Amino acid sequence: MSAQLESHEVAAGWQPRHNPTLSPAGTGRAQFLHALLILALPPAGTVLAVALAWRWGLGWSDLLMLAAMYVLTIIGITVGFHRGLTHRAFQAGPATRAVLTVLGAMAAQGPPIYWVSNHRRHHHFSDRPGDPHSPLYDEERRLGRWRGLWHAHVAWTFRHRLSNTVVFAKDLIADPLVSRLNRLYFVWVLLGFGLPALAGGLLSGSWRGALTGLLWGGFVRLFLTYHATHSINSITHLFGSRPFNTREQSRNNAWLVLPTGGEAWHNNHHAFPGSAVFGLRWWQLDPGGWVVRGLARLRLIHDVRLTTPEMIAARLAQQPPAGEDLPERETDDALHREPAHKRSARSPPAPARQGETRP
């Protein structure tokens, strides 16, 4: 594994060469409909699942479908979409990249290029006007705490300006594999419902098992993952600890760490966005980081970027007093770098930077 981070993806003071947001004609209705369906259908399916469990009993296969689909889609979001595609904290071959991307798309939080664009935009404008899901601002309007909590958790999905993918994700647009998977987004969402239904039916040998597998592995799972991951936008920018004095209001929240796959070490992440592991201390559990390390040991991913103790100490030593700004240590390198599949095919890896170690 590489033990050194590159500079971060979005520099403080970096200004996009094009408008960071778009409002293409006809997208408002589709955006609203997608947000409404993903918000409303999972709770309705959850109520039906509980009602049927009250009548028929809750089978072990239902719990297995819920647990398996929850873990797989959370891995898809935190390892695939976030650490992999957004921050390029590791490199992966086509098969591994495809599996992680499909798992992320099955979480129904939008196509991968859309998701990545929003998140890179979030890091550039974090908790300032332009951040798509800050609890402090709705575009340019300052929000109070509770209205901001609602906006960052749910309301932003209905009306946010679309992030300009040419500005924030042109590396993924140029990646033929990710672009192809992006176009098939709704296929992967349906697969996220079809797999637990099929598995539930096979395990139970009945149509009833297929129905309950669909409900628990599909709708209940989606209800839980929706609110777990959206809590990072809302709760971890309002409640928790701030060991690093970053320029936004990110916080670590230990209560949300396991449900989010390690995402709730959010202040750690904003301090070192390029790191593939968010738990920076031995006691900071990070399931997504465990997956990253496991994939690296299996040689399914490589060039893993990690935060060293020396980097943590240096960051803490240079912190200004609380209340003063400290810019995130990122550049727009990942926004404009050549796609990995082209770079690796054309030339050998670049020489190690000063202080970097490679396998």
> What tens digit of pLDDT does each residue of 290-337 get?
999 999 999 999 999 999 999 999 999 988 665 555 444 443 333 334
- The pTM score is 0.86
Instruction: Look up tokens 């979480």; give the residue.
Output: 107
User: Which structure tokens are listed for 265?
Assistant: 């070490």
* Run of H or E residues at 104: helix 94-105
Q: How many degrees, rounded to 5, is the angle at CA 14 between CA 159 and CA 82?
A: 55
Rounded Cα gap, residues 149 and 142, in angstroms: 12
pLDDT at 347: 35
pLDDT at 139: 85
pLDDT at 17: 56
| Positions in the chain whose pLDDT score sits under 50 | 2-14, 25-26, 326-359
72 neighbors 103 (Cβ within 8 angstroms): yes
pLDDT at 19: 85
157 neighbors 35 (Cβ within 8 angstroms): yes
Rounded Cα gap, residues 93 and 232, in angstroms: 29
Rounded Cα gap, residues 165 and 158, in angstroms: 19
Helix, strand and coil percent figures for the chain, each rounded to 5: 55, 5, 40
Which residue type is seen at 230?
H
Closest among 209, 219, 313, 212 to 271, alpha carbons compared: 313
Rounded Cα gap, residues 43 and 279, in angstroms: 31
Rounded Cα gap, residues 165 and 34, in angstroms: 19
Instruction: Look up tokens 């499909």; give the residue.
Output: 102
Using CB atoms within 10 Å of the CB of residue 68, give its burial: 0 to 12 exposed, 13 to 18 middle, 19+ buried: middle
- Fill in the DSSP letter of residue 255: G
275 neighbors 89 (Cβ within 8 angstroms): yes
Rounded Cα gap, residues 77 and 80, in angstroms: 6
pLDDT at 293: 98
Q: How many degrees, rounded to 5, is the angle at CA 236 between CA 248 and CA 264?
A: 115
For helices 287-297 and 60-75, angle between their N-to-C axes, nearest 10 degrees? 80
